[in-house]
Chain A
Amino acid sequence: MEDSVANRGPAPTKEEAAPKPFTPEDEVALREALKRCSPATVEAAVTYRRVRDTAQLPTIVIGVIERYVESELRPKLREGDDELRLVEDLGVDSLTMMEIVMLVEETIQVQTNNDELRGLRTVGDVKTFIDCKVKGLPIPKPAKFIPLEQIASVMPVQPPFLFVSEAQVGAHSAQGKYKLTGQEFFLQGHFKNNPILPASIMLEALGQLAVLFLIEGSLGEEGKAVDTSKIFFTSCEGVRCHRMCRPGDVLTLFVKPKRVKSPFATFEGSIRVGQEKAAVVEEMTLAFAYAEAVAQPAAVADKPGSVAPVLTPSSETAAPPLAAAVRA
Chain B
Amino acid sequence: MPKVYVTGLGFITSIGNDRVEVTRSLREMRHGMVVYPPFQRPDLPVKVAAPVRGFSVESTDPEDWTFPAGYRIKREVLRGLGPNSLYAYCAMIQAIADAKLSEQEISNQQTGLYAASAGSPGLLYRLLTQMHAQGVMRCPPLGIVAAIAGTVQFNLVAHFKIKGASTGFSSACASSSHAMGFAYDEIALGRQSRMFVVGAEDGNYETIAPFAGMRALSLSTDPETASRPFDIARDGFVGTGGGVVLVLESEDEVARRGVAPYCEVAGWGQASDGHNVAISHPEGDGLRRAMELALTYSKLEAAEVDYVNAHATSTPIGDVSEVKALRAVFGARAAQTAVSSTKALTGHGLSLAGAMESAFCALAIKDGFMPGSAHITRVDPECEGIHILRTTSDAQPHVVLNNSSGFGGANVCVVLRRA
| Interface residues of A, Cβ cutoff 8 Å to B | 36, 68, 70, 93, 95-96, 98-99, 102, 106, 111
| A70:B74 contact, CB within 8 angstroms | yes
B74 to chain A, nearest CB (A): 7
Give Cα A36 to B141, complex, Å: 18
| A99:B141 contact, CB within 8 angstroms | yes
B73 to chain A, nearest CB (A): 12
List chain B residues, Cβ under 8 A from A68: 75
List chain B residues, Cβ under 8 A from A36: 63
Q: List 20 A-B contacts (CB under 8 A).
A: A36-B63, A68-B75, A70-B74, A70-B75, A70-B76, A93-B76, A95-B76, A95-B79, A95-B141, A95-B142, A96-B76, A98-B141, A99-B79, A99-B140, A99-B141, A102-B137, A102-B138, A102-B141, A106-B138, A111-B137
Q: List 16 extra interface pairs beyond A99-B79, A99-B140, CB under 8 A.
A: A36-B63, A68-B75, A70-B74, A70-B75, A70-B76, A93-B76, A95-B79, A95-B141, A95-B142, A96-B76, A99-B141, A102-B137, A102-B138, A102-B141, A106-B138, A111-B137
Q: What string of 1s and 0s marks CB contacts (under 8 Å) between B37-80 and chain A? A: 00000000000000000000000000100000000001110010
Give Cα A106 to B137, complex, Å: 11
Give Cα A52 to B162, complex, Å: 49
Interface residue tally of chain B, by bracket? 10 to 19
Give Cα A70 to B75, complex, Å: 8
List chain A residues, Cβ under 8 A from B74: 70
| Interface residues of B, Cβ cutoff 8 Å to A | 63, 74-76, 79, 137-138, 140-142
List chain A residues, Cβ under 8 A from B140: 99
Question: In this complex, what residue of B is CB-closest to A99?
Answer: B141
Give Cα A70 to B73, complex, Å: 11
B161 to chain A, nearest CB (A): 15
List chain B residues, Cβ under 8 A from A99: 79, 140-141
List chain B residues, Cβ under 8 A from A106: 138
A261 to chain B, nearest CB (A): 41
Question: In this complex, what residue of B is CB-closest to A93?
Answer: B76
Give Cα A98 to B140, complex, Å: 9
Give Cα A102 to B142, complex, Å: 13
Give Cα A96 to B80, complex, Å: 11
Give Cα A95 to B142, complex, Å: 8
List chain A residues, Cβ under 8 A from B137: 102, 111
Question: In this complex, what residue of B is CB-closest to A36?
Answer: B63
B147 to chain A, nearest CB (A): 15
List chain A residues, Cβ under 8 A from B138: 102, 106
A114 to chain B, nearest CB (A): 9
Give Cα A102 to B143, complex, Å: 14
B40 to chain A, nearest CB (A): 27
List chain B residues, Cβ under 8 A from A93: 76
Give Cα A106 to B134, complex, Å: 11
Interface centre among B75, B79, B140 (most CB of A within 10 A): B75
A170 to chain B, nearest CB (A): 25
A29 to chain B, nearest CB (A): 11
Question: In this complex, what residue of B is CB-closest to A97?
Answer: B141
Give Cα A70 to B74, complex, Å: 8
B280 to chain A, nearest CB (A): 43
Give Cα A99 to B138, complex, Å: 10
Give Cα A98 to B142, complex, Å: 10
List chain A residues, Cβ under 8 A from B63: 36
A53 to chain B, nearest CB (A): 25
Question: In this complex, what residue of B is CB-closest to A95?
Answer: B141
In the A-B complex, the 7 residue pairs with the smallest Cβ-Cβ separation, listed nearest first, are A98-B141, A95-B141, A95-B142, A99-B141, A96-B76, A36-B63, A70-B74
B245 to chain A, nearest CB (A): 26
List chain B residues, Cβ under 8 A from A98: 141
B313 to chain A, nearest CB (A): 39
Give Cα A68 to B75, complex, Å: 8
List chain A residues, Cβ under 8 A from B76: 70, 93, 95-96
Give Cα A188 to B215, complex, Å: 86
Give Cα A99 to B137, complex, Å: 11
A143 to chain B, nearest CB (A): 24
Give Cα A172 to B6, complex, Å: 59
List chain A residues, Cβ under 8 A from B79: 95, 99
Question: In this complex, what residue of B is CB-closest to A106?
Answer: B138
Give Cα A95 to B145, complex, Å: 12
Give Cα A222 to B178, complex, Å: 66
Give Cα A95 to B138, complex, Å: 13
A81 to chain B, nearest CB (A): 22
Give Cα A102 to B136, complex, Å: 12
Give Cα A13 to B74, complex, Å: 44
Give Cα A36 to B79, complex, Å: 14
Give Cα A298 to B141, complex, Å: 55
B65 to chain A, nearest CB (A): 13
List chain B residues, Cβ under 8 A from A96: 76
List chain A residues, Cβ under 8 A from B75: 68, 70
Give Cα A68 to B76, complex, Å: 9
Question: In this complex, what residue of B is CB-closest to A69?
Answer: B75
A113 to chain B, nearest CB (A): 9
Give Cα A106 to B138, complex, Å: 9
Give Cα A96 to B76, complex, Å: 8
List chain B residues, Cβ under 8 A from A70: 74-76
Question: In this complex, what residue of B is CB-closest to A113?
Answer: B137
Question: In this complex, what residue of B is CB-closest to A114?
Answer: B137
Interface centre among B76, B140, B142 (most CB of A within 10 A): B76
List chain A residues, Cβ under 8 A from B142: 95
B345 to chain A, nearest CB (A): 39
Give Cα A95 to B63, complex, Å: 16
List chain B residues, Cβ under 8 A from A111: 137
Interface centre among A36, A93, A95, A98 (most CB of B within 10 A): A95
B81 to chain A, nearest CB (A): 14
Give Cα A98 to B79, complex, Å: 13
List chain B residues, Cβ under 8 A from A102: 137-138, 141
B136 to chain A, nearest CB (A): 12
Question: In this complex, what residue of B is CB-closest to A70?
Answer: B74
Give Cα A42 to B79, complex, Å: 22
Interface centre among B63, B79, B140, B141 (most CB of A within 10 A): B141
Give Cα A95 to B76, complex, Å: 9
Question: In this complex, what residue of A is CB-closest to B135?
Answer: A111
Question: In this complex, what residue of A is CB-closest to B145?
Answer: A95
Give Cα A99 to B75, complex, Å: 12
List chain A residues, Cβ under 8 A from B141: 95, 98-99, 102
